[in-house]
Amino acid sequence: MTCVIERRQFLASPIALAGGLAASRPNVLVVLADDLGWRDTGFQGGDIPTPNIDRIAHEGVRFTRFYCTPLCTPTRASLMTGRSPMRYGLVYSVVRPWSHYGLPADEHVMAQTFQAAGYQTAIIGKWHLGHAHKSHLPNRRGFDHFYGHLNAEIDYYTHTEYGGLDWQRNGAGVREEGYTTDLLANEAVRWLGNRDRGRPFFLYLAFNAVHAPLQAPAQLVEKYAGIPNKSRRLYAAMLDSMDSAIGKVLSLLDRDQISRDTLVLFLSDNGGAPGSGAVNLPLRAGKLTVYEGGIRVAAAMRWPGHIPVRGEVGQVMAALDVFPTLAAASGLTPGNSKPLDGRNMWAAISKGDRFERENLFFAAKRNETDERYFAVRSGPWKLVQQLSADGPRVDQLFQLDEDPYEKEDLAARNRDLVMKLGAELDAWRTLHPKCDIQSSMAPHPGWAPPADYAQVAVDYEVRR
């Protein structure tokens, strides 16, 4: 695939880091939005003001072909490990409150590489990679500091999931008032303010906004009173709040005069959910599908002096690439022992180099019908498959360079290509471990939520 970068005001200045650290060691800030629509930021042409998110794109580059998985847990796993979640059984669904599994303890996490290199590391926000065993928790996965929640769609004000408190700081439940988006921003500013200025930091700021439930401060809902659709109105208010929160963090970088020393990556974990007010147009469909609206996400990166200003990167990239790319940009070697599925794309971002991308694979599952959906992007081609237990396989083939909105199905005219790509999907599916791939959408009648999710994780490493 081609990589198009528009270079304007590109400054190639060295980094000046405190404490005599090597100039190749920037601070790293990864900001993850939850369920953000493709066209819902200003830099993507949206009609909801997002000046702070837009600033990242305008002072750096926007990615036009950046892919994630179509739902939360698999993307977060990809992001953290650089490996396909198909390999460790986290591809088809999310970790639910009653789930006992999580990201396997033998999977190396990006934060561990940064921590080993002397970085201060923190996750502030949503984890969603396991909560039942202590080995799954962020503080055991390379993060010095964790503040936020372990599950998915907690209440923005009570900070509960199914009635149980899911809000903690480093393993201890925290009961406090406040809207989660504001609290996460305040914690990020606090943690950054108290950091060791002699060492770089790696901060993973993972908002639960704009994921359901649709809740927002009254004054922001009133600000968008002119939007007739209630879901869209609440969604706009939630996005507005998240943008302000990101602005607080960017302002701190400015005040501490470390903006030029900090690489900032912004992205969404999957496409938006149209039923919750998100807009993915002109892309097809949205969250929980393998069409472009479900897997192609808004993303931007800023690192003044090291990547272009107001650039556009057309290289096909994915969440799988984040770990090796950020490590390379920071002068680090990933510490994983298992082979990565992602690749280092730093040269595509910083120099405009072009790469032929290896195939990218996607999966989604509808629990209520047991239908499974798969896709593979191979060069300009994309095969979409629908599999069901009691029906024939349905194939669709799209030529994305000519038809990015997936309007014309070319499968009937390209049967050989359909068979070839279908065989590659079949091979990818075999990577799944020999374990249950079902994940119930509802808890067993005997399951009861804990009073505090921070208190229920067991230490199976001790019990074995």
Cis peptide before 282 (omega within 30 of 0): yes
Q: Find the catalytic residue in 3, 68, 108, 128.
A: 128
Q: Write the burial class of residue 435 (CB in 10 Å: 0-12 exposed, 13-18 middle, 19+ buried).
A: exposed
Element containing residue 145 per DSSP (H, E): strand 145-149
3 is known as an active-site residue: no
72 is known as an active-site residue: yes
Half-sphere exposure of 115 (CA within 13 A, CB side): 17
Report the b/e string of 132-169 with b at 16+ CB within 10 A. Answer: bbbbbbbebbbbbbbbbbbbbbbbbeebbbbebbbbbe
Contact 37, 297 (CB under 8 A): no
Beta strands in 209-359 (DSSP E): 262-268, 299-302, 311-313, 317-318
Q: Find the catalytic residue in 72, 131, 211, 306.
A: 72
- Closest by CA to 35, choosing from 248, 239, 254, is 239
- The residue length of the chain stands at 464
Backbone angles phi, psi at 264, to 5 degrees: -115, 125
Beta strands in 174-272 (DSSP E): 201-206, 262-268
CB neighbours (10 Å) of residue 409?
A: 14
Active site residues: 72, 128
